[in-house]
Amino acid sequence: MADIAVMGYGTVGSGVVKVLETNKSLIGRRAGQEIFVKYVLDLRDFPGDPIEKKITHRFEDILEDASISVVVEVMGGLKPAYDFTRRALEAGKSVCTSNKELVATHGQELIEIAKKNNVNYLFEASCGGGIPIIRPLNSSLTAEDIDEISGILNGTTNYILTEMSEKGSDFETALKEAQELGYAERNPEADVEGYDACRKIAILSSLAFGRTVRYEDVYTEGITKITPLDIAYAKKMDMVIKLVASGFKTGEGGTKYNCLVSPFMIGFSHPLSRVNGVFNAVFVHGNTLGDSMFYGSGAGSLPTASAVVGDVVDCVRHLGKTITIIWDSEKLVLSDIKTVSRSFFLRVPSKDLDRAKELFPVKEVIRLDSSSDEVGIVTDVISEEAFERAANSLGTVISRIRIAI
Amino acid sequence: MADIAVMGYGTVGSGVVKVLETNKSLIGRRAGQEIFVKYVLDLRDFPGDPIEKKITHRFEDILEDASISVVVEVMGGLKPAYDFTRRALEAGKSVCTSNKELVATHGQELIEIAKKNNVNYLFEASCGGGIPIIRPLNSSLTAEDIDEISGILNGTTNYILTEMSEKGSDFETALKEAQELGYAERNPEADVEGYDACRKIAILSSLAFGRTVRYEDVYTEGITKITPLDIAYAKKMDMVIKLVASGFKTGEGGTKYNCLVSPFMIGFSHPLSRVNGVFNAVFVHGNTLGDSMFYGSGAGSLPTASAVVGDVVDCVRHLGKTITIIWDSEKLVLSDIKTVSRSFFLRVPSKDLDRAKELFPVKEVIRLDSSSDEVGIVTDVISEEAFERAANSLGTVISRIRIAI
């Protein structure tokens, strides 16, 4: 029997206990031994809950119990999660987490500490909820030179954009509905401003490219400025608007990298275009594999918990042995986003179309209806810097959205 | 340095050598040591080829060379692949393969032999080409009670059906085109009759459910009878026709299983519906994870080779340790397909519609145009046996296709 502890009895923590209970015999069979939750660490008590008697308020109870081989950290945030994780690893206990903030901030260091102590720090649930993507990156796509990893990594914003697209509602209305359904927090900033997706793509890019991508270096733009009119143009062009987080090779010979989070217009031939509602997906392009995509529930108590428990099983299978994760402390040098080139969509007042044609490499002009006093423009490929310069010169750009090819 | 041997220098074998060469330093870094191809076993010589000097015609050269820790078996077929694999494993060498026929026939036994000898028998490339699905099943979805695994597992048939759907061509024309493009073999039986998909779903179901599914027990129906008219009806109903291979729980309480390969009509809300051309995808439903899907290149020299090389890296990382694969020799008892219930689509002469309404639980009648002398019918959920009985009573069913919900 493998004794484990769960730190944090919130949405994911209670899900972990539930998944372990629901699929107990299957999980025990796959781990090679029964997995038993000995402690649940939380500041609160849970009278009447089945885990009532397992609750401890002292981290040291877990740390000092030599029988505990795996610790689940689903507290979230950096404090005290970072300190607890470090100390657990140093005490020879593996740690499994869904804590994207901690992994994006200290993941590389914690992996190193785990390695030194012959234990594991696993974080499948930190990106894309229940979608297996971390393990495929670490263990399956090992023959690939990955040149792009792009994802719809935030269920809240994808739900909002899907609602806006299907019902024609504006951002505020769709956000309110998402909040009422529990898909968005009362303070939705981390989701709608792209901060959540930013941390996730920093983690995924670090693993895909093998060096550290600091989330602070990732250009991040949210979806708060997207309007029903933007979406109407996208529809007219047979495209959708998605919040895409992407890490990719750029520059000549693909020797540089860039990483960003931004709304993108995507054509329906792209696999990510069909990912709707609270679903998430991660698209990977490798030099010999070509396109691949991993799709599934991006959030939710049980799917995320399922990924955490999958990591627990892997830790139990690998007691005394560290699973290889290639994530160097060396920083991945990101090129300035200004140097990245792509097509853009922009809206301008009809009266400025001629001037816009002088300033931008206009590829296509889109009119929603003939009486409208504005037009949409699709540009040819142009650098972010040149686009910005032209937009400033024009001075009357109503909105602009990047286009994914 | 890890010395390996490649058995079979055909499409996949030459791809393996190419992938190892192309991404040499990355692969070496991920494996923890350089991977070096010491032998290539083939009956032929390859004068002028970079591997010319590595060619051997004697399996014993590989078997008796103690420096060889991993053998890649990409010969295909059972003879002599089975014998060579068994002997390599017994000699303490791990084996990685893309040979679905061998895995579907002797996989369980070979996994056991590998375990006894502290080596590995890995077969990521046997299902879905380059799509990582075997490893996620073995190592990621370990917290899940999987109730369904369904896939588009054959690129040839998916290409043909996509062409028929997009261009309105008939089966023979689409097949001929696929053959000209190299997507279909000159003898296409294994693909178009579903035999290839049958072996793959037997492997995937065995892993998903942990017991042995014999491919001989899988009900298998190909796509040769699908006509442009069937596809026209599907379009009218906002559906597509796909060759789906599926293993799923059935019966009350989900305690029984069934497994089949058959053309299905699928609605566009199902993730598999958008998988077109030579792409493959595997859909998995788990009791706590919900829906997930893995999508990518289903075939081709390099994607398949990439999956083989990923397995080689995993073998090198796990020298002396067997990676857990749960696949019991106990047979998974499959319920008789006659007892499985679902909706069906069928076409009948217009004159027989009234009689059909008496025999089938008709849910919807579809007319392609008012002058047509036939109609389409969608039934409510009905057992395969009851459907068959009704169809025999009517005697004039033009075609029938299963519907996936």
Cα distances from A386 to residues A122, A192, B374, in angstroms, run 42, 27, 60
**Rounded Cα–Cα distance for residues B312 and B320 (Å):** 14
Domain extent at residue B392: 337-404
Please tell me whether residues A160 and A228 are part of one structural domain: yes
Mean pLDDT computed over B116-120: 98
Residue B8 tokens read as: 């079979």
CB contact under 8 A, B296 and A303: no
Is residue A332 domain-resident? no
Is residue B332 domain-resident? no
Please tell me whether residues B76 and B215 are part of one structural domain: no
Residue B371 reports pLDDT greater than 90: no
DSSP classification of residue B331: B
The pLDDT, as a whole number, for residue A21 is 98
Mean pLDDT computed over A196-210: 98
Please tell me whether residues B113 and B159 are part of one structural domain: no
Please tell me whether residues A341 and A308 are part of one structural domain: no
CB contact under 8 A, B143 and A289: no
User: What's the one-letter identity of residue B221?
Assistant: E
Residue A254 reports pLDDT greater than 90: no
CB contact under 8 A, B297 and A290: yes
Catalytic residues of B: 200
CB contact under 8 A, A293 and B291: no
**From A111-115, A139-143, B218-222, B298-302, the region with the lowest mean pLDDT:** B298-302
Please tell me whether residues B149 and B272 are part of one structural domain: yes
Last residue of a domain, one of A317, A345, A375: A317
**From A162-166, A171-175, B8-12, B249-253, the region with the lowest mean pLDDT:** B249-253
pLDDT band at B273 (very low <50, low <70, confident <90, very high): very high
Is residue B96 domain-resident? yes
B307 touches chain A (CB under 8 A): yes
Straight-line distance from the first to the last Cα atom of chain A, in angstroms, rounded to the nearest whole number? 51
The pLDDT, as a whole number, for residue B378 is 98
The answer to whether residues A150 and A272 touch, using CB atoms and an 8 Å cutoff, is: yes
Please tell me whether residues A55 and A167 are part of one structural domain: no
Residue A251 reports pLDDT greater than 80: no
Domain count, chain B: 3
Mean pLDDT computed over B254-261: 90
How confident is the model over A12-62, as pLDDT tens digits? 999 999 999 999 999 999 999 999 999 999 999 999 999 999 999 999 999
Question: What ipTM was assigned to the predicted interfaces of this complex?
Answer: 0.94
Which positions in chain A touch B309 (Cβ < 8 Å)?
142-143
Please tell me whether residues B28 and B9 are part of one structural domain: yes
Please tell me whether residues B290 and B306 are part of one structural domain: no
Mean pLDDT computed over B338-350: 97
A150 touches chain B (CB under 8 A): no
The pLDDT, as a whole number, for residue A403 is 98
How close does chain B come to A261, measured CA to CA in Å?
A: 23
User: Which residues partner with B293 through β-bridges?
Assistant: A295, B283
Query: Cis ω on the peptide bond leading into residue A228 (within 30° of 0)?
Result: no
Is residue B213 domain-resident? yes
User: What's the one-letter identity of residue B367?
Assistant: R
Please tell me whether residues B292 and B164 are part of one structural domain: yes
Strands (E), A136-255: 146-152, 219-220, 239-250
Please tell me whether residues B185 and B41 are part of one structural domain: no
The pLDDT, as a whole number, for residue B149 is 98
Please tell me whether residues A275 and A311 are part of one structural domain: no
Residues 261 through 280 of chain B touching chain A, CB cutoff 8 Å: 271, 274, 279
The answer to whether residues A158 and A261 touch, using CB atoms and an 8 Å cutoff, is: no
Give the angle subtended at the CA of B136 by the CAs of B340 and B190, to the nearest 5°.
55
Residue A163 reports pLDDT greater than 90: yes
User: The CATH number of the domain where B73 resides is what?
Assistant: 3.40.50.720
Task: Please state, rounded to an integer, the average pLDDT across all residues of chain B.
Answer: 96
Q: Looking at per-residue confidence, does B184 or B18 come out higher?
A: B18
Contact partners, residue A350, CB within 8 Å, separation at least 6 = A372, A373, A374, A375
How confident is the model over B142-170, as pLDDT tens digits? 999 999 999 999 999 999 999 999 999 99
Cα distances from A274 to residues A228, A252, A265, B333, in angstroms, run 19, 31, 12, 36
The answer to whether residues A140 and A240 touch, using CB atoms and an 8 Å cutoff, is: no
Last residue of a domain, one of B235, B266, B296: B296
Nearest CA in chain A to B24: A143
Is residue A177 domain-resident? yes
Nearest CA in chain B to A207: B30
Strands (E), B233-278: 239-250, 256-267
Burial of A57 (0-12, 13-18, 19+ CB in 10 A): exposed
User: What's the one-letter identity of residue B41?
Assistant: L
CB contact under 8 A, B302 and A289: yes
User: Which residues partner with A128 through β-bridges?
Assistant: none
How confident is the model over A272-325, as pLDDT tens digits? 999 999 999 999 999 999 999 999 988 789 999 999 999 999 999 999 999 999
pLDDT band at B202 (very low <50, low <70, confident <90, very high): very high
Please tell me whether residues B125 and B147 are part of one structural domain: no
Which positions in chain B touch A295 (Cβ < 8 Å)?
271, 291-295
Best B115, B123, B124, B144 residue to mutate vs chain A (most A CBs within 10 Å): B144
Is residue A331 domain-resident? no
How close does chain A come to B291, measured CA to CA in Å?
A: 6
Last residue of a domain, one of B317, B352, B376: B317
Is residue A135 domain-resident? no
The pLDDT, as a whole number, for residue A307 is 97
Residue B405 reports pLDDT greater than 90: no
Phi, psi of B152 (to 5 degrees): -95, 100
Residues 342 through 381 of chain A touching chain B, CB cutoff 8 Å: none
Is residue A323 domain-resident? no
User: The CATH number of the domain where A176 resides is what?
Assistant: 3.30.360.10
pLDDT band at A129 (very low <50, low <70, confident <90, very high): confident
The answer to whether residues B119 and B89 touch, using CB atoms and an 8 Å cutoff, is: yes
CB contact under 8 A, B289 and A274: no
